[in-house]
Amino acid sequence: MTDSDFVPLIKSGKIERKIKQIAKVLDKKYGQEDVCFVCVLKGAVIFYSKLLKYIKNKNVELDFVEVKSYCGTTSTGEVKMLKDISIDIKNKHLVLVEDIIDTGLTAKFMCEHFKKQKPKSILMCSLLQKPDKLSVDLNMETLVAFNIPNKFIIGYGLDLDEKYRNLKDILILKENK
Ligand code: 5GP
The CATH number given to whatever domain includes residue 75 is 3.40.50.2020
Q: Whose CA is nearest to atom 16 of ligand 1?
A: 102
List 75's β-bridge partners, or say none: 70
Number of structural domains found in the chain: 1
What range defines the domain where residue 62 resides?
A: 3-173
Mean pLDDT along residues 61-90: 87
Check if 101 has its Cβ closer than 6 Å to any atom of ligand 1.
yes
pLDDT at 149 over 80: yes
Mean per-residue pLDDT over the chain, rounded: 94
Most ligand 1 atoms within 8 A of CB, residue of 68, 69, 105 to mutate:
69
CB atoms within 10 A of CB 24: 13
pLDDT at 70 over 70: no
For the chain, counts of helices (H) and of strands (E): 3, 9
What's this model's pTM, rounded to 2 decimal places? 0.94
Check if 172 has its Cβ closer than 6 Å to any atom of ligand 1.
no
Mean pLDDT along residues 81-98: 97
Ligand 1 centroid vs 32 CA: distance in angstroms? 32
Q: Give the least confident one: 18-27, 74-83, 124-133.
A: 74-83
> Which segments of the chain are extended strands (E)?
6-10, 35-41, 60-71, 74-83, 93-101, 121-129, 141-147, 153-154, 170-173
Rounded-to-integer distance, Cα 7 and Cα 147, Å: 17
Q: Nearest-CA neighbor of 98 among 109, 89, 87?
A: 109
Is residue 105 within 8 Å of residue 75, measured between CB atoms?
yes
Catalytic residue check, 99: no
Rounded-to-integer distance, Cα 128 and Cα 99, Å: 6
